[in-house]
Amino acid sequence: MLRIDSHQHFWKYDPVEYDWIDDSMAVIRKDFLPGDLEPVLKSNGFDGCIIVQSHQSEQENDFQLANADNYNFIKGVVGWVDLQSANIGERLTYYNQFEKMKGFRHVLQGEPQRDMMLQSAFLHGISLLKKYNYTYDILIFPDQLKYTAKFVAQFPDQPFVIDHIAKPNIKQAEIADWEKDIKAVAQFENVFCKVSGMVTEADWQNWKPADFNPYLDVIADNFGTDRLMFGSDWPVCKIAAEYEQVAGIIAAYFSAFSKIEQENIFGGNAARFYNI
């Protein structure tokens, strides 16, 4: 079974395009390209990865699809399209020619309108994805989880995945509201969850592996091992941890699970979800 990192990024650093990388994240203010990741994946026993967009433009899609064309270890791309556009159908038709374009996401976490996912134009865009066999990555903060069950309920056949376990505030050990809302979303069998992005929600300098266990307990109990997928969130993870540490946290937690469950979390589920 392929071992797949379900969530990582490449970029040619530009301070305007990547203005979300602030002074506290200086370690990632540089280019991160496929040649940088390939040896890291190999040394950690991974066969491939999924690129996820980090800039909301169709130029980003061109860049990432070119990366995917040039490197076989890149198994798929999660790009960006304007889901609220009147010509969304045309854009999805256009991208259907690219075998490695697997799905899309929008940076909902950054939208001033916190329930944007429930707006009619956005819902219309989402409604077209299944026709083209596209997935959708849900990138949100915990305050938006309360809208997410209503959102996914409208599309029972659409494959969804929650990025970064919806970014709970691990640093302050906040869990109750997040847990309640995660449980509601996990009831929908077409919703998966990426075990990713946790170290950057913890105390960057002082996290301990045990800090993540309560959150991992919740997602393991509610999503089960058939709907969880490991993602490194490289290079963003480097703000708080190296790749080996991120993979190690998850491997240690799931070490008591069966071999097939571990294989599913570290690749099998991602391959099934993204149709690899």
Helix, strand, coil in percent for the chain, rounding step 5? 50, 15, 40
Residue 197 backbone zone (phi > 0: left; psi -120 to 50: alpha; other: beta): left
DSSP structural state of residue 72? T
Cβ neighbour number for residue 187 with a 10 Å cutoff: 11
Alpha carbons 149 and 138: distance in angstroms, whole number: 12
- Give the per-residue pLDDT at 183: 98
Which tokens sit at 236?
Answer: 């963003």
Instruction: Find where tokens 């134009």 sit.
Output: 121
Three-class HEC string of 135-161: EEEECCCHHHHHHHHHHHHCCCCCCEE
Instruction: Find where tokens 């050990």 sit.
Output: 173
Alpha carbons 224 and 227: distance in angstroms, whole number: 6
- Give the per-residue pLDDT at 19: 87
Is pLDDT of 61 > 90? yes
Domain ranges for the chain: 4-273
pLDDT tens track for 155-178: 999 999 999 999 999 999 999 999
Of residues 191 and 22, more confidently modeled: 191
pLDDT tens track for 221-265: 999 999 999 999 999 999 999 999 999 999 999 999 999 999 999
pLDDT tens track for 13-25: 998 888 888 999 9
Three-class HEC string of 4-65: EEEEECCECCCCCCCCCCCHHHHHHCCCECHHHHHHHHHHCCCCEEEEECCCCCHHHHHHHH
Is pLDDT of 275 > 90? yes
pLDDT category, 150, cuts 50, 70, 90? very high
Alpha carbons 136 and 192: distance in angstroms, whole number: 10
- Mean pLDDT within 74-84: 98
- Mean pLDDT within 140-148: 97
- Give the per-residue pLDDT at 1: 85
User: Reduced to 3 states, what is the DSSP secondary structure of residue 186?
Assistant: helix
In the chain, the amino acid numbered 71 is Y
Reference 145, options 174, 124, 125, 103; nearest CA is 174
pLDDT tens track for 25-56: 999 999 999 999 999 999 999 999 999 999 99
State whether CATH 3.20.20.140 applies to domain 4-273: yes
